[in-house]
């Protein structure tokens, strides 16, 4: 199938679907009409899109953890604890790494090993192997909407199974679940495969069922400048809307400077609304703020400081949802208890800040303007390269290094851009690579980094990048020389 940013016809979709459902035996349990009937019977308080819409109307920020273990009953126990003890507003099912690479055979081994050893031998919930009815069993056991959270370049069978299983949201996108997660999956391939997932959501919408889609904002979660992550989020949002997605949550990963992070969310909302209006897409747009995605302090008390700072920033930015970290972040998959603690610390902070927003200021206004200007430089070039087509333009933009995600493992990412923090900890461009920013923007980024270098008595250098990557784990935002 040739890549273009055009809604797939049902014939095109069904042709691909036949083959997708054969990728694992559980695919044969998916029947679109039966699934639609099941989904129509799900109460509204368990529909992701409806709960997001209500939160946006009420102007509140809801909390969602990440969580997933190998076996169904243990996963249910985990989610019930996060709901009842953690007070989670949304529940995830974090999917395991084998499923993310479509290695369902290894999932099967992991499930058997987990049964044998009575511990989770997978780092998430293998939803494809467990299949539709077990996904429905998980949904029946909780009282909040469910979402699949993962990192899957080819999420087609996973999307079919989780939606038929009553989970009304799927995270990811053709850029955001490829470039930070895979080495050798072409951008064209993953864009096509995520058009499938978006078209499936669109088909359910056309049958009167709301399915939420959430592009993965943070990307590599390592000093990603807000304009680069916002450009990717808007592209994935537009591609999803073209396939009929109506409930869209665009995301952003906390960088750490309050003014910049609030500006990132505000500019993401403003710019995406501009683009959706231009292209005539009527979507229910919400935002998700991910608490710090970089290295964490091992000390749990310090980790709670980072978690609460992320919660506070999400609230002050007015994000619809915040994704919660745990005090075990520095060591690995959190225990059920640690996961619940992260949510409770987050909810306490959100409740204390309910109704408060970071007021407009000269600095905030400047940062919003700067992020929008930088984002438009990228998006305008993508559109030009694609001769008006954002899907084709995205493939060419990666080839040209116009879209360039720092520290991405993908061989399709040129990796010439380098970020570093300025004196206030805002993430700036140290090297632009082939990203086509105006001279004024380049000079401004350069000036801010030189101010930092001067105050630290050193040259602007790659060492700053290294120092910034370790900083938060060591207890500061800016990686000052030791």
Ligand X SMILES: CCC[C@H]1O[C@@H](n2cnc3c(N)ncnc32)[C@H](O)[C@@H]1O
Burial class (CB in 10 A: 0-12, 13-18, 19+), 229: buried
Phi-psi region of 312 (alpha: psi -120 to 50; beta: other; left: phi over 0): alpha
Nearer to ligand X, 149 or 347 (CB): 149
Q: Which is nearer to ligand X, 124 or 225 (CB)?
A: 124
Using the rule CB under 6 A, give the single segment among 101-109, 325-333, 402-410, 442-450 that binds ligand X.
325-333
189 is catalytic: no
Residue 127 binding ligand X, by CB under 6 A: no
Q: Which CB, 166 or 251, lies closer to ligand X? A: 251
Question: What's the closest the beta carbon of residue 424 comes to ligand X, in angstroms?
Answer: 25
Options 334, 342, 406, 419; binder of ligand X; rule CB under 6 A: 334
123 binds ligand X (CB under 6 A): yes
Of 26, 64, 94, 222, which one interacts with ligand X (CB under 6 A)?
94
Give min distance, CB of 322 to ligand X, in A. Answer: 13
Among the residue ranges 44-52, 275-283, 327-335, 427-435, the one whose residues contact ligand X (CB under 6 A):
327-335
Half-sphere exposure of 397 (CA within 13 A, CB side): 30
Known catalytic residue at 206? no
Query: Among residues 334 and 406, whose Cβ is nearest to ligand X?
Result: 334
Q: Which is nearer to ligand X, 69 or 368 (CB)?
A: 69
> Which CB atom, from 17 or from 100, has the smaller least distance to ligand X?
100
Query: Which residue number, 16 or 338, has a Cβ lying nearer to ligand X?
Result: 338
Told to check if 124 binds ligand X by CB under 6 A, we report: yes
**Nearest approach, Cβ of residue 454 and ligand X (Å):** 35
- Nearer Cβ to ligand X, position 212 or 326? 326
Query: C-beta of 323: minimal distance to ligand X in Å?
Result: 8
Q: Does 408 bind ligand X (CB under 6 A)?
A: no
Cβ at position 69, least distance to ligand X in Å? 7
Q: Longest C-alpha distance within the chain, in Å?
A: 67
Residues between 166 and 225 that touch ligand X (CB under 6 A): none
- Residue 329 contacts ligand X per CB under 6 A: yes
**Residue choice 51, 266, 325, 381 for contact with ligand X (CB under 6 A):** 325
475 Cα distance to chain centroid: 25
Q: Shortest Cβ distance from residue 94 to ligand X (Å)?
A: 4
Which residue in the set 333, 350, 392, 426 belongs to the binding site for ligand X (CB under 6 A)? 333
Minimal distance in Å, beta carbon 101 to ligand X? 14
Site size toward ligand X (CB under 6 A) is 10
Minimum distance of ligand X from residue 156's CB (angstroms): 20
Distances (CA, A) of 101 to 61, 150, 392: 32, 10, 24
Binders of ligand X among residues 61 to 80 (CB under 6 A) are 66-68
What number of other Cβ atoms are within 10 A of residue 477's Cβ? 17
Which of the residues 17, 66, 100, 266 is marked catalytic?
A: 100
* Residue 263 CA: distances (Å) to CA of 74, 88, 357, 387: 40, 26, 12, 30
Phi-psi domain of 244 (left: phi exceeds 0; alpha: psi -120 through 50; beta: other): left
Q: If phi over 0 gives left and psi between -120 and 50 gives alpha, with beta otherwise, what is residue 457?
A: left
Interacting span for ligand X (CB under 6 A) from 132-140, 157-165, 329-337, 377-385: 329-337
CB of 262 to ligand X, least distance (A): 22
User: Residue 156 or residue 325: which is nearer to ligand X going by CB?
Assistant: 325
Pick the catalytic residue: 160, 171, 214, 367? 171
Q: Which stretch binds ligand X (CB under 6 A): 60-68, 201-209, 450-458, 466-474?
A: 60-68
Residues of this chain that interact with ligand X (CB under 6 A) are: 66-68, 94, 123-124, 325, 329, 333-334
Catalytic residues: 100, 171
């Amino acid at each position: 199938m040739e890549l273009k940013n055009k809604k797939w016809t049902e014939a095109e979709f069904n042709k691909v679907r036949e083959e997708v459902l054969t990728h694992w035996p559980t695919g044969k349990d998916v029947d679109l009409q039966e699934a639609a009937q099941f989904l129509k019977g799900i109460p509204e308080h368990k529909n992701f899109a409806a709960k997001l819409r209500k939160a946006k109307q009420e102007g509140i920020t809801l909390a969602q953890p990440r969580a997933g273990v190998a076996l169904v009953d243990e996963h249910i126990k985990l989610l019930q604890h996060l709901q009842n003890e953690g007070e989670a507003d949304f529940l995830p099912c974090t999917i395991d790494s084998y499923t993310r690479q479509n290695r369902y055979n290894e999932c099967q081994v992991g499930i058997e090993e987990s049964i044998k050893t009575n511990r989770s031998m997978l780092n998430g919930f293998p939803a494809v192997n467990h299949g539709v009815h077990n996904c429905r069993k998980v949904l029946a056991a909780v009282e909040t909407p469910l979402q699949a959270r993962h990192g899957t370049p080819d999420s087609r069978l996973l999307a079919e199974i989780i939606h038929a299983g009553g989970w009304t949201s799927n995270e990811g996108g053709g850029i955001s679940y490829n470039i930070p997660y895979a080495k050798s999956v072409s951008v064209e391939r993953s864009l096509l495969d995520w058009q499938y997932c978006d078209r499936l959501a669109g088909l359910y919408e056309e049958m009167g069922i709301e399915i939420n889609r959430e592009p993965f904002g943070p990307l590599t979660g390592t000093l990603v400048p807000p304009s680069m992550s916002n450009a990717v989020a808007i592209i994935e949002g537009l591609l999803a809307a073209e396939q009929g997605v109506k409930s869209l949550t665009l995301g952003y990963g906390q960088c750490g400077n309050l003014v910049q992070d609030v500006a990132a969310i505000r500019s993401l909302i403003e710019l995406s609304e501009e683009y959706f209006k231009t292209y005539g897409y009527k979507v229910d747009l919400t935002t998700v703020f991910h608490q710090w995605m970089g290295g964490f302090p091992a000390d749990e008390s310090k980790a709670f400081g980072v978690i609460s700072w992320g919660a506070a920033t999400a609230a002050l930015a007015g994000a619809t949802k915040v994704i919660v970290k745990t005090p075990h972040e520095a060591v690995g998959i959190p225990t059920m208890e640690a996961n619940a603690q992260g949510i409770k610390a987050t909810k306490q902070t959100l409740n204390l800040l309910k109704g408060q927003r970071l007021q407009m200021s000269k600095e905030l206004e400047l940062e919003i303007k700067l992020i929008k200007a930088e984002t438009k430089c990228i998006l305008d070039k993508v559109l030009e390269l694609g001769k008006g087509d954002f899907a084709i333009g995205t493939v060419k933009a990666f080839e040209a290094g116009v879209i360039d995600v720092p520290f991405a493992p993908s061989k399709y990412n040129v990796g010439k851009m380098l970020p570093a923090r300025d004196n206030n900890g805002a993430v700036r461009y140290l090297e632009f690579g082939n990203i086509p920013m105006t001279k004024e923007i380049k000079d401004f980024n350069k000036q801010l980094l030189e101010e930092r270098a001067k105050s630290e008595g050193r040259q602007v250098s790659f060492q700053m990048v290294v120092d910034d990557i370790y900083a938060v784990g060591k207890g500061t935002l800016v990686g000052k020389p030791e």
